[in-house]
């Protein structure tokens, strides 16, 4: 390593640390919610530069360790955890992933760990600047006729001791068949899951108690599972009870799958918090997968023309735990099984100024029902187990990919410029765009090499190519931008490069 390269390395690492500090500083915000509600100035509201990672089915101890060893230093600002409440156990199906989404009680004992382990994890993550969001399953209860839960609770369908009885559920008690009928979507059962009557004050109080209890442990926000299956006014009433009791307000983001052809609209839920926009992931996925005549060339126009959630109120993703498995309303989504294509799609999401990005961190699976890596008894295996494959094997750990980590920092550095500049494409699957004078990214989805001079708004200087630098731990590649804002470079097939003003090289 020559002296110049060594100096670049120090400056590049410093840029990553500065980016992390900027993200923390931007965490607190004030904004009105569409529909009239207002969140308090001290609410747990992330900026649009803040990146969340979903550590799907990780144990609480592993989440804590990942916060300390990876997430905090990489600039991730939040981690989404799997549902923490007691859930059904289904050994005859080898403990499938979806058992977590069938609550038995609101005791905080799940296959990820117990209450004490959850509380410890939250504090350890917060100590390194990473907030924790819980996946909150509050629309329904477990559908199994009779079984013990993960905390040992004995229950039967529509009878959950000390919590709910049959009169606490909606009268329909049949599966939803018509998504053009709003009453059926919100009052009948999602795949036979007992549907709580969230109009009842006692049900609302139980649900608010559960969320407030999680908040008391330091949980900073909630993904509201199956939000579209609750009347928006009833969900808003539950969340308002939580806000009345908890300071600061929790960050709320709601699962509302709205393809634009059904009775329930995502805009119905803007008054309660952010909304997860499934259309964004579909549009990006179809471009990267080249579905029909779609290519990267038309991606910016397609997103600009789409009826998306307003950016400041949107959570976006490339794939999630449902879409990976073909669940949740269909559509074409890129997943870890698409290899480099998936990495490039995540690079795009983190570079593109829309919504709050969430990175999916998966485990490898062969069937859509398969649960996480576990023992025969259903005990989830640790990601850090020394005699097993861990990340890169049983656990995919997309969030650790060098390209993804580099782009988390890119997003933070470019946050002040919420628009796309200097868009370029070859008319097919090679594209580039800037974020004014803050950064520039080039994505080559072709197998052939791309060599070109790019026009940017970057200041003249020598820039570290940050994706390669993250992979190598060193800035081996320096790209010179001239006084006109131009640079010439070569990008290998199925790869990307990124420059930003937080990673300037020095002479």
Clarify whether 472 is annotated catalytic.
no
In a domain, residue 462? The reply is no
Handedness of CA 363, 367, 371, 374 (dihedral sign): negative
Residues 6+ away with beta carbon under 8 Å from 34: 267, 270, 271, 310, 313
Confidence at residue 240, expressed as pLDDT on a 0 to 100 scale:
98
Alpha-carbon distance values, 455 to 150, 376, 434, 495 (Å): 58, 57, 9, 20
In a domain, residue 126? The reply is yes
Neighbours of 244 (CB within 10 A): 11
Strands 421-425 and 430-434: antiparallel
Residues 6+ away with beta carbon under 8 Å from 261: none
Identify the active-site residue in 135, 225, 249, 286: 225
28, 491, 455, 451: which is closest to 220 by C-alpha? 28
Domain that holds residue 77: 29-277
Using the 8-state DSSP alphabet, how is residue 354 labeled?
Answer: S
Neighbours of 194 (CB within 10 A): 23
Query: Residue 201: what are its φ and ψ, rounded to 5°?
Result: -55, -40
- Distance, in Å, from the CA atom of 125 to the CA atom of 122, rounded to the nearest integer, reads 5
In a domain, residue 131? The reply is yes
In a domain, residue 357? The reply is no
Clarify whether 338 is annotated catalytic.
no
Domain count across the chain:
1
Tokens of 415: 């946050």
496 neighbors 441 (Cβ within 8 angstroms):
yes
In a domain, residue 129? The reply is yes
Strands 52-55 and 78-81: parallel
In a domain, residue 437? The reply is no
The CATH number for 39's domain is 3.20.20.80
Query: Residue 45: what are its φ and ψ, rounded to 5°?
Result: -105, 115
Q: What is the pLDDT along the chain (507 residues), one digit of tens a residue?
A: 332 333 333 344 344 434 444 433 333 332 334 444 444 445 577 888 899 999 999 999 999 999 999 999 999 999 999 999 999 999 999 999 999 999 999 999 999 999 999 999 999 999 999 999 999 999 999 998 878 899 999 999 999 999 999 999 999 999 999 999 999 999 999 999 999 999 999 999 999 999 999 999 999 999 999 999 999 999 999 999 999 999 999 999 999 999 999 999 999 999 999 999 999 999 999 999 999 999 999 999 999 999 999 999 999 999 999 999 988 777 899 999 999 999 999 999 999 999 999 999 999 999 999 999 999 999 999 999 876 667 888 999 999 999 999 999 999 999 999 999 999 999 999 999 999 999 999 999 999 999 999 999 999 999 999 999 998 888 989 999 999 999 999 999 999 999 999 999 875
Identify the active-site residue in 48, 168, 195, 255: 255
- Distance, in Å, from the CA atom of 193 to the CA atom of 190, rounded to the nearest integer, reads 5
Tokens of 356: 């709050």
- Distance, in Å, from the CA atom of 229 to the CA atom of 331, rounded to the nearest integer, reads 20
In a domain, residue 269? The reply is yes
In a domain, residue 208? The reply is yes
Residues 6+ away with beta carbon under 8 Å from 273: 33, 39, 224, 239, 251, 252, 253, 254, 313
388, 429, 478: which is closest to 5 by C-alpha? 478
């Amino acid at each position: 390593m020559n002296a110049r390269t060594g100096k670049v390395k120090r400056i590049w690492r410093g840029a990553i640390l500065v980016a992390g500090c900027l993200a923390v500083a931007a965490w607190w915000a004030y904004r009105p919610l569409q529909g009239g509600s207002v969140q308090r100035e001290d609410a747990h509201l992330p900026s649009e530069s803040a990146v969340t990672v979903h550590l799907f089915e990780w144990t609480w101890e592993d989440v804590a360790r990942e916060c300390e060893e990876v997430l905090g230093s990489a600039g991730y600002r939040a981690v989404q955890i799997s549902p923490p409440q007691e859930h059904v156990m289904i050994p005859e199906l080898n403990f499938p992933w979806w058992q977590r989404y069938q609550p038995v009680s609101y005791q905080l004992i799940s296959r990820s760990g117990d209450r004490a382990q959850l509380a410890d994890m939250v504090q350890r993550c917060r100590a390194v600047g990473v907030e924790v969001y819980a996946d909150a399953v509050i629309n329904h209860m477990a559908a199994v006729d009779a079984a013990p839960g993960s905390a040992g609770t004995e229950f039967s369908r529509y009878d959950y001791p000390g919590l709910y009885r049959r009169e606490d559920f909606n009268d329909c008690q049949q599966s939803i068949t018509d998504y053009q009928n709003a009453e059926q979507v919100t009052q009948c059962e999602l795949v036979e899951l007992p549907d709580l009557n969230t109009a009842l004050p006692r049900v609302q109080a139980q649900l608010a108690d559960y969320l407030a209890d999680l908040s008391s442990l330091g949980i900073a926000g909630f993904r509201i599972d199956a939000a579209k299956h609750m009347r928006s006014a009833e969900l808003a009433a539950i969340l308002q009870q939580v806000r009345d009791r908890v300071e600061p307000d929790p960050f709320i983001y709601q699962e509302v799958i709205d393809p634009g052809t059904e009775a329930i609209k995502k805009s119905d839920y803007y008054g309660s918090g952010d909304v997860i926009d499934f259309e964004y992931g579909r549009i990006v996925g179809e471009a990267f997968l080249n579905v029909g005549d779609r290519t990267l060339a038309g991606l910016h126009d397609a997103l600009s023309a789409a009826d998306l959630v307003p950016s400041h109120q949107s959570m976006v993703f490339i794939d999630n735990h449902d879409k990976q498995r073909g669940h949740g309303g269909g559509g074409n989504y890129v997943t870890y099984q698409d290899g480099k294509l998936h990495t490039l799609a995540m690079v795009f999401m983190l570079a593109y100024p829309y919504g709050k990005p969430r990175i999916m961190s998966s485990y490898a699976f062969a069937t859509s029902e398969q649960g996480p890596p576990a023992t025969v008894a259903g005990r989830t295996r640790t990601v850090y187990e020394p005699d097993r494959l861990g990340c890169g094997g049983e656990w995919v750990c997309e969030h650790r990919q060098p390209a993804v980590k580099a782009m988390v920092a890119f997003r933070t550095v470019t946050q002040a410029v919420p628009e796309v500049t200097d868009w370029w494409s070859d008319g097919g699957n090679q594209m580039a765009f800037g974020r004014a004078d803050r950064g520039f990214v080039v994505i080559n989805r072709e197998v052939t090499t791309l060599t070109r001079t790019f026009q940017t708004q970057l200041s003249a200087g020598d820039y570290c190519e940050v994706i390669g630098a993250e992979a190598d731990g060193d800035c081996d590649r320096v790209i010179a931008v001239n006084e006109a804002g131009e640079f010439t470079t070569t990008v290998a097939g199925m790869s990307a490069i990124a420059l930003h003003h937080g990673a300037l090289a020095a002479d």
